[in-house]
Amino acid sequence: IIGIDKGIEFAGVIFPVIMFGLIIISFFLFVREIFVRKSEKSILKANLIALIASFFMIVIPIFLSRTVAGIPEKESAAFFFMFLSFYFFLKAWKSKKIKNAVILGILAGISTGVMGLVWGGVIYAFISIGLAGLIAFVLNKVSKKEFLVYSLWIIGSFFILMYFSGKRYNFNEMFTSLSSGLAFLSLMVMVVHYLIFSTKISNIKLIKSSKIPKTILSIIITFVILIILSLLVFGPQFVIDKAKAIHQTIFKPISGRWNITVAENKQPDFREWSQSFGPFVKNIPIMVWMFFIGSVILFRKMLLKLKNKDAWILTFFYIFFLLGIIFSRYSTGSLFNGENFISKLFYYISIILFIGAFVYYYNKYYKLGDKSFEKIRFEYLLLFSLFILTLFTVRGAVRLIMVLGPIAPIFVGFLIVELGNKFFKYKELSKILIGILLIIILISSLYSFNVFYKSVSAQAYSFVPNAYNIQWQKAMDWVRTNTPENAVFSHWWDYGYWVQSIGNRATSVDGGDAITYWN
């Protein structure tokens, strides 16, 4: 029995380290799949971007607490399945053969489902893929194969979560939440579109005479149908509550007496979360600005097939959109504190203008019969959906900074490789300017990597579990000695595990937080 206990203990200690090794592999494959194409040059660039991003991801400090030996954090397993989900989904979407697409789509669904069984952060998979799928649909990038892949992913993930999680993921939760509900909404839009424009319904005068793009018309019709059904089934309060929930999620996603007592649920501002990325040069977080610039350059590249002027205008709105997300909650004592009217106005306007500009130009190209928008790569849509989601959630809680941690280096890796490619491609003055910028970026990257490496090397020792001090030891000894063996403790969150494992008594609440209202 002692041998078994020590084996379990050792497994718990080493678990996050083993999972981190697997995370690195799945992360590399995911990043590589974003940028890879058939040409040898493309494969080389994709490998370089994935390698650079992986090196940064390995040493970025914010990720350390979830992957260091000693504490069996569930996130170390969840991140592996998250990147695996994205990798399988991209492979399925890009697959030429239906058979391969089906197998990979099912694997993507299984990976997402297992991630959800491990961690509530499965919302990152549902929202990112769901949003990317919806945008791809609007851009007419969803044919029968893509629809099949998306459907298999939804069915696979929903089945695993609803079947294996007990009551945590029930029917109502899966189909009406703001996360998995969004993914399901995208599927419903695709189904409604097929039912309308592949049947005689499309001959209805109102639909046939509409000048609105068919995909956007399908979205409008789906929304109307779902709102009517919601009113009939759940009542008007359901729709009102969802609208309030969206507003609440945008500005203060974590609230309530229980949630805000947990330190890692504190809502940070930019000055706080940027500290996790550093390093700083004269109060400038260079890593933050590198991934900011990298995302802007990649966004512009994503619009390569559009007219140059239109692409730059949309890129300008994207920059304004990023500024709105990041700096509308700059610091507590500033004009943009995230709580006052001007902060919320800046936030909302940046989002509305960006979406409005995108819709305007899409509609403009649609009327001209220009299919340039349809040539936007789905891989980029997925990456930007994930990136924007992580920027959005990083405003919500300190603990969610760790999700942005591995995503930001993707843009740094792209920035370095893209500038290197431009340097060898351009001539004369442009070559000199790009060369200077490349040198600055390379020095900044090497400096950041060195600072990160030293930081995690030093911090790793402080993450060794040491909170089980003499008072806790005496308390748990008292529990073992003075309480009945069938006693059940109503305990606060993580420490419930200590009562279970060291006090040898059952608890109604622990770090698994399976039944939230028990808290």
Torsion angles phi and psi, residue 281, rounded to 5 = -125, 105
Alpha helices, DSSP H only, in 198-235?
205-208, 214-233
463, 76 in Cβ contact below 8 A? no
C-alpha radius of gyration, the chain, whole number = 25
Q: Is-contact 132 92, C-beta < 8 A?
A: no
Question: Is the bond leading into 484 cis (omega within 30 degrees of zero)?
Answer: no
Q: What is the pLDDT of residue 316?
A: 97
Residue 282: per-residue pLDDT: 84
Partners of residue 284 on adjacent β-strands = 281
Structure confidence by residue, pLDDT tens digits, 331-364: 888 888 888 899 989 999 999 999 999 999 998 9
Question: Is 270 or 396 the better-scoring residue by pLDDT?
Answer: 270
What is the rounded distance in angstroms from the CA atom of residue 405 to the CA atom of residue 400?
9
What confidence category does residue 62 fall into, taking pLDDT thresholds of 50, 70 and 90?
confident
Over the chain, what is the mean pLDDT? Answer: 87
Q: How confident is the model over 92-107, as pLDDT tens digits?
A: 999 999 999 999 999 9
* Whole-angstrom distance, CA of residue 234 vs CA of residue 253: 23
pLDDT at site 254 = 63
User: C-alpha distances in angstroms, 25 versus 39, 50, 75, 283, 290?
Assistant: 23, 10, 16, 34, 24
The two tokens of residue 198 are 């592949």
Which residue pairs, CB below 8 angstroms and at least 24 apart, start in 446-449?
447/279, 447/286, 448/56, 448/278, 448/279, 448/286, 448/287, 448/290, 449/55, 449/56, 449/59
Query: Cα–Cα distance between 404 and 390 in angstroms, integer?
Result: 5
- The reported pLDDT for the residue numbered 174 is 79
Percent of the chain scoring above 90 in pLDDT: 52
Listed residue (491, 451, 453) closest to 472, CA to CA:
491
* C-alpha closest to that of 302 among 474, 38, 294, 123: 294
CB burial of residue 180 (10 Å; 0-12, 13-18, 19+): buried
Q: What percent of the chain stands above pLDDT 70?
A: 92
Question: What distance in Å separates the CA atoms of residue 480 and residue 121, rounded to the nearest whole number?
Answer: 35
What is the per-residue pLDDT across 357-398, written as a single tens digit (0 to 9) for each?
A: 999 999 899 889 899 999 999 999 999 999 999 998 888 878
Taking alpha carbons only, the member of 323, 306, 285, 446 closest to residue 362 is: 306
What pLDDT shows up at residue 1? Answer: 42
pLDDT at position 170: 77
